[in-house]
Structure 1
Amino acid sequence: MAVKLHFSNRNLVLGFVMFVSLLLALYTRTLPSGEIGIIGLTPIFALAILSICGLDIVLSVVVAIILGVIMTSTTPVELGKLLAASTGSFIATVGLIIMLGAGVGEVATRTGAAKQLVNFIVNKIGLSSQRRVKLGIIISSIVICGSLGTMAGGNAIIVAVIIPVAAAVGLTPPTVALLLMTAGSIGLFIGPFTPSTVTILELGGLSYPQFLIHAGLPMSLVTLLAGWFMSNKIQQWTVGKIKYDEEIVDKNKTDVGDEKRGKRSALVFFLTIVVMAFIGVIVQAGFSFAIFVMLTVATLTGLSGGLSPINILDAMYKGCGRLVWMFLLYWLYNPVLVLVDKLSAYQALLNDVTPYLQGFSAAWLCFFVFLFNIIGHVPGAAVAQMTFTKKIFGPILLAQGVTPEGLTAVLLASSQVDWFGPFPSSDMFGQMGLARSTSLKYMLYGGWAIVIANIVMFAILFQIVT
């Protein structure tokens, strides 16, 4: 009996990319080390193309490692040592911070701290108009996502509170989706202990206040203005056509005792974050300080919310478990960078590109790197993209006299603007799901406007900071 095999176009493309990459890897084995050139970047290119085509990002990194191992003739023993060393690498530490942030989020959820913070913000602003509710959504999302270091986890906490309110004043799901995407991203841009901020401070060499002044706040302001403007347009386009179901109600009622504990833990949560941020700035703590912050916030928030040490650990286990894949991603990505570095691929690319960039001013060189990264982004791996950008373009930028402020702006722009476009992203789909929106085109319209606004802003900003 004949067996029919059905292959989707996606699988054919993935198979073709893997096959071509394997051929290039085997071909590299036949070349003298000095003649490999930019072919040595094959693992990086394969990773980007495979993830863009829809292959799981962690699996894409595994493929990249295999290609690197083949190209460098790395033995299993050497690979084992490389993986062991990677556990203490900077990028793996960022993965750990991301995972701990999810654990803190679970503690904040179980104690009611997160919900009480959202309720406080929304109630203080008031619910009398669409404008006030939109403002409440934005502030809540910035505070929660910036504190927890995760947009998906942070906005998942606040939607239970804000969607019934948004539905009551007539906001449509596409409008709420764009607001969540805009505000959650801003929280990650400027939060003191978010993965992107921790990475940028380490790679760029600026202090947190310097980062905010020269890059974080300008990008956040432009993103907010563009997102607010487009949310108004999307509301006009969708009102009367798309709406929330009438039966949407807030089912997350709590008793008086739970509410008191929630308010107490919310206060402790907020004050701990503020105090830790202040201490970090004063003592100029490095990126690893974020690990201590996460553990301290989880402990104090949990205890003030009535959780026992065992309950706090259980919450941390559950929260961290949701993002184990993220830690694995960053842990495995570091060996890819090391293997490619052994092939001298970064230096080869630098040598090939440098002659074409000699005529560029420092500002326009920064802008070129920024545009390159918008097109050649690695989906779901902003921290990895920052590291890659610093590795390849850092020497060129420094040679052209780009200041630390300019380098920091390049890293921020190159890794964050592409969240909003030009292509659909997992972040978009995630926020649409939370907002109960099925209209991708409106999310893209809003994202494209934010991308264009940031392109214009950074073109100007690079002239100032370089």
Structure 2
Amino acid sequence: MADGSFNLWWGLVGLIPLLVYMVLVLREMDPLPATVICVVIGAVINAKSLVGVGADLSKAMGSFLGLVGLIIMLGRGLGEILSETKVAHTLVYKIMYGIGVNSQRKAALGIMLASLVIVGLLGTMAGGIAIIAPIVNPIAAAVGLSPAMVAVMYQSVGEEALTLGPFTPPVVTLLGLTKLDYGTMLVTAAIPVAVVTMIAAWVMMWRIQRDTAEKSPYDDTIKSSSAGFTPTETSRRATNVFIWLFIALIAYGIFIKAATPYVISVMLILAFVVGFVGKMKFDDICRGVVRGMAGNVGLFLLFILLELLIKYVEHAGGFKAITYLLMPLIQIGGKTAVVIAGGAIGAFGISGAVVAELMTLHKMFVSLVGQYGVSMIAWTVALIVATRVTNFIIPGSNMVAMMGFAQSKDLGSMIRNGWAVAIAQTGLLIIYALFVA
């Protein structure tokens, strides 16, 4: 027994669904079926009837994770409109030719900026880089950048764009968990992590370029090819409207300290205004939004089920058991230990969907964060590092997809860069733990 009526051993049993989930995703099972299996295990441990599980599912639809799932689907819908009206393509074109690419370093900066903007706006690495790659790969090849270097750029910038963009799943989740406003989270946590990441990645990119430029260059067909995209007057107009309206809506949201549901209004307004300016019909805009949302229905279901999984682990005392076991370490290290332990466990011990990692870690440590008065800024950095490091050091779907878009087969370069970034981010986490927590 521990803490009066709390049974530590039963609490450890309550962790079984979470442990099974970690094993399944590490074995590269798709997160949705893995979560279904673990929800069933959690329901059995908590002696839930079929009626009880149905009632829990109904409540989960209105939970914070249910809201995140809806926002992510709408984000995909907005992305569909930006692609349909060629706003996303025009943004990439403006960035690349605005910089005036006539050297390797300018090309690298252009690719990084384009990746940051598009992935940050669309909220998806795969979807964003899929738009960018056909336009920038020929430019990269023409100035002599290697596929290995371009792949490293895609991942390094794409991962950080997901923690900077206002509508991305990690950002929406972070704001909901920490209760920080977007501006505070951006300036005090996301940007510092992005800066150290980009410094480490910039150094590694040029080392990789030096090592691979002659050994593994782009082939001549890529060098001579052209994406063939030229913005039209309509796409330029729609892009300008999107930029100014986006800035105005975000500024207004920050000014009024709008809560997470405000994002839904922003996305719908942007989708319809940009669609109309881009000369889409009302019916086509609606169909485009729905078509985009349909691509993320699986994620919406995943988040609903994750709400159940976390609830069942918590109800069985699993998170309380972790807190109890960590107490000797925390009592020695205090706030610093809470921040470092949270970041390290997430980075090196938990894998899977980012939102699942964020929710799980927060539930594990939220009582300790409150008990020891840990700064929410330091805790936010811990959550960001926890979810980013995993993708940089483990050859998962994000890493492999970026290699595919860049037409690179050099996994070793991705791992080298990943560990350099992981070390840089961990160093920043320690600084926050020591001086900000």
* TM bracket, shorter-chain basis: over 0.9
Partner of 1:438: 409
Which of 265, 269, 274 matches 1:301?
274
1:352-409, CA deviations, whole angstroms, 9 ceiling, x for partnerless residues? 2213320103123311221111111222x11111111111111112212211222222
Partner of 1:417: 389
Work out whether residues 214 and 465 of structure 1, in 8 Å CA contact, stay in contact via their aligned partners in 2: no
Partner of 1:270: 243
- Same amino acid, percent of matched pairs: 33
1:47: Cα distance to partner? 0.7
Work out whether residues 338 and 365 of structure 2, in 8 Å CA contact, stay in contact via their aligned partners in 1: no
Partner of 2:354: 382
SS, match of residue 408 in structure 1 = helix
AA aligned opposite 2:226: D
Work out whether residues 81 and 289 of structure 2, in 8 Å CA contact, stay in contact via their aligned partners in 1: yes
SS, match of residue 65 in structure 1 = helix
1:136-156, CA deviations, whole angstroms, 9 ceiling, x for partnerless residues? 001111111111111111111
Partner of 1:13: none
1:424: Cα distance to partner? 1.1
Matches within 5 A, 1:271-420: 271-379=244-352, 381-420=353-392
Partner of 1:202: 176
AA aligned opposite 1:446: N
1:398-429, CA deviations, whole angstroms, 9 ceiling, x for partnerless residues? 212211222222222222222211x2111101
Work out whether residues 149 and 193 of structure 1, in 8 Å CA contact, stay in contact via their aligned partners in 2: yes
Distance in structure 2 (CA, Å) of the matches to 1:360 and 1:63 = 37
TM-score (norm 2): 0.95
Distance in structure 1 (CA, Å) of the matches to 2:150 and 2:8 = 54
2:114 is the counterpart of 1:137: no
RMSD: 1.6
Partner of 1:214: 188
Distance in structure 2 (CA, Å) of the matches to 1:292 and 1:37 = 41
Partner of 2:233: 260
1:126: Cα distance to partner? 1.1
Partner of 2:418: 447
Work out whether residues 226 and 453 of structure 1, in 8 Å CA contact, stay in contact via their aligned partners in 2: yes
Work out whether residues 303 and 309 of structure 1, in 8 Å CA contact, stay in contact via their aligned partners in 2: yes
Distance in structure 1 (CA, Å) of the matches to 2:228 and 2:288 = 19
Work out whether residues 202 and 287 of structure 1, in 8 Å CA contact, stay in contact via their aligned partners in 2: yes
AA aligned opposite 2:55: K
Distance in structure 2 (CA, Å) of the matches to 1:222 and 1:463 = 17
Partner of 1:151: 125
Work out whether residues 145 and 209 of structure 2, in 8 Å CA contact, stay in contact via their aligned partners in 1: yes
1:34-71, CA deviations, whole angstroms, 9 ceiling, x for partnerless residues? 75121211111101110110211101000001101111
2:92 is the counterpart of 1:121: no
Matches within 5 A, 1:239-258: 239-248=213-222, 249-254=225-230
1:441: Cα distance to partner? 1.0
Partner of 1:77: 51
1:306: Cα distance to partner? 0.8
AA aligned opposite 2:292: G
Work out whether residues 91 and 384 of structure 1, in 8 Å CA contact, stay in contact via their aligned partners in 2: no
Work out whether residues 86 and 335 of structure 1, in 8 Å CA contact, stay in contact via their aligned partners in 2: yes
Work out whether residues 35 and 306 of structure 2, in 8 Å CA contact, stay in contact via their aligned partners in 1: yes
Which of 199, 211, 216 matches 1:237?
211
Distance in structure 2 (CA, Å) of the matches to 1:465 and 1:190 = 21
Work out whether residues 135 and 227 of structure 2, in 8 Å CA contact, stay in contact via their aligned partners in 1: no
Which of 35, 42, 66 matches 1:68?
42
Distance in structure 2 (CA, Å) of the matches to 1:133 and 1:120 = 13
Distance in structure 2 (CA, Å) of the matches to 1:127 and 1:34 = 61
Partner of 1:12: none
Structure 1 residue runs of 4+, over 6 Å off? none
1:215: Cα distance to partner? 0.8
TM-score (norm 1): 0.89
Distance in structure 1 (CA, Å) of the matches to 2:329 and 2:161 = 37
1:349: Cα distance to partner? 2.1
AA aligned opposite 2:405: L
Distance in structure 2 (CA, Å) of the matches to 1:65 and 1:283 = 38
